[in-house]
Structure formats: structure tokens, C-alpha cells
Amino acid sequence: MADNWRTYQTINDKWGMKMTTEKMSVAQAIVKILEQEGITDAFGIPGAGINPVYKYLAASGIKHYTVRHEEAAVHAADAYFRASGRLAAAICTSGPGATNFVTGIYTANIDSIPLIALTGQAVTSQLGKDAFQCVDIAKICEPIAKATYCVTDPGKIVSVFQKAFQTARMGKPGPVVIDLPLDVQTAEIEFDAGAYKPLAWDNPHPDLADIRAAIAMINAADSPVIIMGGGVILAEAADLCVKLAEMLQIPVITTYMAKGGIPADHPLHAGHAGIQVGQPIGNKVFVDSDLVLGIGCRFTDRHTGNIAAYKGNRKFIHINVESSEIGKIFQPDLGIVADAKYALQALLDVAAQEGKPKDGTRAAALPALRAQLKRKTDYDTVPIKPHRVYEELNKFFKNDAMFTTGCGLNQIWSGQLQDVDQPRLYLPSGGAGTLGFDIPAAFGAKIANPGKHAVAVMGDFGFTFLVEELAVCAAYKVPVIVVIVNNAYLSLIRQNQKYAYGFEHAVAMDENQDTLDYIKVAEGFACAGERVTNPDDIAPALARAVKAGKPYVIDIICEKNTDCSMGAAVDCVKEFC
């Protein structure tokens, strides 16, 4: 890439154009590159190992938000992209600052969320010598990031950043970590900010013969189903997927990461399938199918459950932008390596000529079947049934809010029971199930999309992970709403202990309802809040939270021992009420 830059200089000289190349520190060049790559927001914590970058960040057009824990910076940058489709940066110093990034990097990577993570580092002469706060973060993050770099040659900084941004965005997107030794940051290089150009990239287009084969397989099937995966949302192709379903009259199941890709009340919406966040309608439609068209999905364990039961006798077409995803879990009958948008457009084009829409009877029966199989949520009992919390969230916010959630029964109920009609409104930690994701993610999402409410839906135990980020919300006057489904338990682990092993130990947390006061915690961080014990008071509390115009915590006291519907296979999910 340095050669390309020099070529640009030569062309300018040849045509007599004025050169703008100047000597500047690497740190200054980095900030200018971030601006040229479209970064407008960054989340982080300054420190001695990264202060040269912060010096120039202060004078840039990039808005920086100082978080209270480095992990939170990555979660905020992660959700910023989930909410907007735009990249943000996460920045921290060396040593424990950098290692605190690890959980956030893993969380983003497994959900295919791109971001740029910059870490400070000791000077190059101290690398590998156990110097103070000197840790090989590039090596540590190598298995859990899309790519990592430790830049020891100042002359390579431009090419590394160009490649990092390209890598983060293209194919199966993901986070890229760039480790920056202190002496590299302060070194001088010649750099022309105006000449800097992001590297072009494109994703694979499908083979037309494969697309025709896919349409032929759909035509031959009696009861096909489309599985819309998170890759469809990332490719901004949800509308095309719905259009294809409408053209061919095929039900659409969404994976957890694609929630909102098709409106909840769309006639062809068949909910989620899976062993945890699956729904009765999704599992039934899936089990009754004879062909599955999976687009932008990965067939991971919480979706499939028992593979033999999942595969059955049905045929599979798998479309994914990443070739290694096809055949990773099981070999499909037809695998197509392609960007979801390109594949869907090609499927639409071929289907318009060669497709045979299915008999409308099956599709017409879906709305009634969906209503019939809908799980009960309108409980009016005290203590409050957790299900009622999600009913009230559905009623109150409709499509005016973005929701974040991390892990636990609260997260599984959220996936099962919340209705979302648009992409980029449901922003969960999917593959990692990260406790602590919720609040900083809601903060990042709200920064990216200030026109929507940002609501973190979490459990009472998860609330104590990264709760200090409420102070960040208050400091920047970002009115995140936190809804705590407080059942005073490590409830997902309690249920696992109970049904998988027949015991209960170290999971009861009565103090979370009795002696601990989460509202005082919120008030200590300059937020507001209230505790709710009656189901009829949930909606008024949500209204007060919105009206408050400041971060607001609603601690909803719920029944302690409610179990959550789940199972080992899509055809034998155990239902609880």
C-alpha cells in the first residue's frame, strides 16, 4: 500500500499539483486516518500508553466518550454499529486496560460486528521483556478477533490501518485490534491526509447456476421455509428477503440475530426456531418443513439443538458470505458462498422467471397458527411473572426503542417474547451471552441513533456487571432506560442445575430483592429510578422513565422460581408457564 501512496505522489508531481504531504507524528496521522475512514465517535479511557493519540483526538472532529471500564468501550462501539451500520472506535491504554478489551472483542467477533480497537503499548524495545503494563494483546486477541496487528514499524502505519478497516468491513465482518507501541505513536512520518483513501472492497457474488439450482429445489419442495440470519441484517437485505418470501409464498423464520428483519405481524412471519429463544410457531413450521433456505445464518447450537433432529429428512440450501461457515456444522445439499444482498437479488431475479409460488393455503394459515401458539404473557399475579414485563415492553415502546440484552433467563425470555418489527432495533449479545453488555451497549446504541429510546433489559445479577456505566450515561446526559427483571436468582443456572443435574447450589440471591437497593445505586450515579412490585405499575413506570429525560432504572420484582421454556431439540422443547 505504501507503493500505491508513492504512486499517487508521483502522479501529483507529474501534473504539477500542489503536494500536501507533511511531517507529522504517527499519532496525528492515526487520528486523521480515523476521520478519513468515517469514524465520528469513539469510546475509551485515556492512559499513558495511548496519550499521544488522545492529544490529536482532542483537536479532531471525532467525539470521544470516556467510559468507566475498558470492556464497556468495546460494547458501546459494538452496539453503535448494530444500531446504525456505521463503525466506531474503541480506545484504551496498555496492560490491564488492553486485556479488559478481550471480552468485548470476543462478543463483537462471534456476532460478526465490525469495529476498530486501538490499544496503547510499551515502547518497542520493551516488548517481550515483562515491562510495566506490557502484554501481547495482539496475540491474546488473535483467536477472538477478525484480525490483530502490533505495529512496530512507523512506516507501515498507513497500510495497516487501510487493511484493518477493509478487513473489519468485508466478508464476515468483525473487530480488528491494532496495538500501538508508544515510540511508534510519537515517531514522525510523511503523510498526506488528503491523499488517503480507504481500500475498496466487495463481497462475493453468487454463481448463477447455483441460484437456479436453489430455485429448482424450492420449486420441487412441498413445504419450504426461509431462515433469515443475522447476515441478512448486516447486508441491509431484510427487505429483499421478505420480498422473496412474498413472491414465493414461503414462511420466514428469523434467527435470534435477525429479530426484527420481518415485522412480527407479517402474514409470513413464522417467529424464531431453536431450543432456547425459539418459539412454538417457529419450531412447528420448521419441523413441518421439507426444505430450508438458510441465508446469512450459521446453524449454531442454540438454534439447532440436536443436529439429527434438526436435519431430519429435510434438504438444506445454505448461503453465507464466508466459505468456512458452509459445512461447518453439517453439509448442506447446496452451499452458496455469497453476500446475502447479492444472493437475494439474484434469487428474486431468477424466481421472477422460473419460480413457482407455493399454494397459498399454508401461508394463509400462519397468522391464526401464530396466535394459537403464542405463549401467554398477560399474567396479573403478584409477584410479577417475568412474561408480563415483556408484554408491557411490547405495548409501550412498539418500534420506538432499541433493546439490548446480555445473558440469562431474562435474555431468553426477551428473545422469545419481545416483538420487534424493524432491523437494528434488537441488539443482543448473541453468540457470547455476555453479562455486562446491556448498559454500555444501550449507551452506544443511543449515541448512534439518538432518535430512538435505548432500553437495556437485564437480570438482577447482570445489573451488577459494568453498572458503573450508568455514571457515563448520566455524565453525557444520555437517557438510557434500564429494566431489571429481578427474580433474585442466577435463574438460568438454577434451571440448568435443577433439570440437568437435580440439585441447587450457590444460585439463590434473595438479597437482590430484600437488602440490596438498586435504585440507590442508580441515584448514586446521578440517575433516577423506581422499584415496581405490581404488574399494573409497569407501564406507568416506563412512562415516567421516558419523561424523566435522564438515565432511569426500573427494578421489577418478579416471581423467583419461574422456569423458561427450552429443550434439547427443536421437536421437544419443554413448555413452562
Q: Hunting for cell 507529474 — which residue is that?
A: 14
User: What is the C-alpha separation between 318 and 298, in angstroms, rounded?
Assistant: 9
CATH match of 23-195 with 2.60.40.1930: no
pLDDT at 19: 52
Say what the pTM is. 0.96
Structure confidence by residue, pLDDT tens digits, 484-512: 999 999 999 999 999 999 999 999 999 99
Please give the C-alpha separations between residue 485 and each of 249, 431, 433, 547, 555, in angstroms, as whole numbers. 38, 21, 16, 21, 7
Question: What letter would DSSP give residue 536?
Answer: G
Q: What is the CATH number of domain 208-373?
A: 3.40.50.1220
Which residue(s) pair with 556 in the sheet? 485, 532
CA dist list (Å): 66 to 103, 147, 162, 229, 305: 18, 25, 26, 33, 41
149 by DSSP, 3-state: which? Answer: strand
Give the Å distances, CA to CA, from 101 to 27, 44, 55, 92, 178. 20, 10, 21, 8, 12
Could you tell me the CA-to-CA distances from 463 to 293, 302, 517, 570 in Å, in that order?
38, 24, 12, 31
How far apart (Å, rounded) are the C-alpha atoms in residues 238 and 318?
A: 17
Respond yes or no on whether the N-terminal peptide bond of residue 383 is cis (omega within 30° of 0): yes
Identify the CA nearest to 392 among candidates 248, 197, 556.
556
Cell of 128: 517481550
Residue pair 420/403 in contact (Cβ under 8 Å)? The answer is yes
Contact 302, 256 (CB under 8 A): yes
Taking only the tens place, the pLDDT of each residue in 71-109 is 999 999 999 999 999 999 999 999 999 999 999 999 999
Give the pLDDT score at 577: 81
pLDDT of residue 20: 73
- Please say whether the structural domain 386-557 has been given the CATH code 3.40.50.970: yes
Question: Which residue intervals of the chain bear CATH 3.40.50.970?
Answer: 23-195, 386-557
Q: In this structure, is the dihedral angle defined by the CA atoms of residues 552, 477, 118 and 427, taken in order, positive or negative? A: positive
Burial class (CB in 10 A: 0-12, 13-18, 19+), 379: middle
Cell readout for 486 is: 429481578
- Residuewise pLDDT in 10s, the chain (577 residues): 333 322 233 333 333 334 578 999 999 999 999 999 999 999 999 999 999 999 999 999 999 999 999 999 999 999 999 999 999 999 999 999 999 999 999 999 999 999 999 999 999 999 899 989 999 999 999 999 999 999 999 999 999 999 999 999 999 999 999 999 999 999 999 999 999 999 999 999 999 999 999 999 999 999 999 999 999 999 999 999 999 999 999 999 999 999 999 999 999 999 999 999 999 999 999 999 999 999 999 999 999 999 999 999 999 999 999 999 999 999 999 999 999 999 999 999 999 999 999 998 999 999 999 999 999 999 999 999 999 999 999 999 989 999 999 999 999 999 999 999 999 999 999 999 999 999 999 999 999 999 999 999 999 999 999 999 999 999 999 999 999 999 999 999 999 999 999 999 999 999 999 999 999 999 999 999 999 999 999 999 999 999 999 999 999 999 999 999 999 999 999 999 8
Alpha carbons 335 and 414: distance in angstroms, whole number: 32
Q: Kindly tell me the sign of the dihedral angle through the C-alpha atoms of 35, 39, 40, 46.
A: negative
Rounded Cα distance between 42 and 88, Å, is: 6
Domain with CATH 3.40.50.1220 in the chain: 208-373
- For residue 19, give the nearest of 33, 5, 1, 35 by alpha carbon: 5
